[in-house]
Structure 1
């Protein structure tokens, strides 16, 4: 098996990123974007101002997934990171999401973030909820019927959070 490399995303990755994005949002089961979200909106989401995006690639042959890392809020909330992940459906279930999650937590700590928060994890996305719990996140809030699932109708979304270091060691 070829090695999977996680590296910063480049503009040359965008076509493959767009393909993954478009496929996943069309499903209507885990991301808030509409199926007709434009390429430009997708590009801004992954390459906009202040966005750090990374991709998991198998050599130069295939992009398997991606994540973006941003501050969850501005100013006094910027010490908390936020991230968004997408894995190519053909690469799901083999650990790519876990690799991206571990990499993201490392990058967040390296960038000086003190915590990470996911604002909108669809409750029926059991693979994501299970992965984030295994990687140390807890559900800190439930948004009742906040997501309109394409097959299930209105379902809950979770806010998930993790401290990235001991608050007793945080700068003042």
Structure 2
């Protein structure tokens, strides 16, 4: 359920409220809505890529690269390098969703392909005086699709983002031929606040695809 626009090499510093509040957030536990009560934990990442197990970053980099290669959900045409991905995804604030399997948290050496369900980041959509408006990018791992992971991450996003001081959320590029993402955002109270005609050349469409811009106030 991607929703990104910015150049991966760009970086808008988060507002002070984000920096101060990030350290106070605790892991969120929930169950997958499309399962028999499968428990998952969503871990905040607040200290940048150096605080994330390198084997987890490598696994998520491979998953993200494959998603870009499929060419249907993200605007990039080429995969990011490993270090560029690590800083892009984890450089501001991110969350990683993991199965509750009796193991402890985000630690080196876990079988990530079996337990990691997805990840998302939160960062300012605009700089400076508009940095209280945030954006997010989401990635569900390939084996976790169709289990409600996207909805669980979206609910966690709506819980964490206002605690980080953000007042409004904008998703810049939700492609109109991605009904799964559209259903999730509508279910979570987002509205279409704009449309960019013929925004993308996607691998799953012979025609140029419109992009929807979704928005929602946070904290309500």
Which TM-score band applies after superposition, normalised by the shorter structure? 0.7 to 0.9
Q: Higher strand share goes to which structure?
A: 1
**Which TM-score applies when normalising by structure 1?**
0.88
Residues in 1 aligned to 2:185 and 2:162: alpha-carbon distance in whole angstroms:
16
Q: Could you tell which deviates more after superposition, 35-44 or 5-14?
A: 35-44
Partner of 1:169: none
CA distance in 2, matches of 1:71, 1:45: 13
Query: Does the aligned pair in 1 maintain the 2:58–2:82 contact within 8 Å?
Result: no
Higher relative contact order (CA 8 A, sep 6+): 2
The aligned residue for residue 100 of structure 1 is 153
What does the per-residue CA deviation read over 1:80-133, in whole Å, with 9 as the maximum and x for residues that have no partner? 111110101211111111110110111001111111110111111111111011
> Could you say if the C-alpha distance between residues 116 and 145 of structure 1 is closer, same or farther in structure 2, counting changes exceeding 3 Å?
same
Question: Which aligned runs of 4 or more in structure 1 are off by greater than 4 angstroms?
Answer: none
Partner-residue secondary structure (3-state), 2:119 = strand
Matched with 1:8 is 44
**1:1-172 to 2 correspondences below 5 Å:** 3-9=39-45, 10-12=51-53, 13-48=56-91, 51-59=92-100, 60-61=110-111, 62-153=115-206, 154-165=208-219
Provide the rounded CA distance (Å) in 2 between the counterparts of 1:105 and 1:14: 24
| 5+ residue gaps, structure 1 | 167-172
1:9-66 per-residue CA deviation (whole Å, 9 max, x = no partner) reads 4421202211221121111000112244322332221123xx1011101145421100
SS of 2:183's equivalent in the other structure is helix
Q: How many residues align?
A: 164
Q: Answer yes or no: is the 8 Å Cα contact 2:173–2:213 preserved in 1.
A: yes
User: RMSD over aligned Cα, in angstroms?
Assistant: 1.7
Confirm or deny: 8 A CA contact 1:20 1:65 kept in the other structure: no
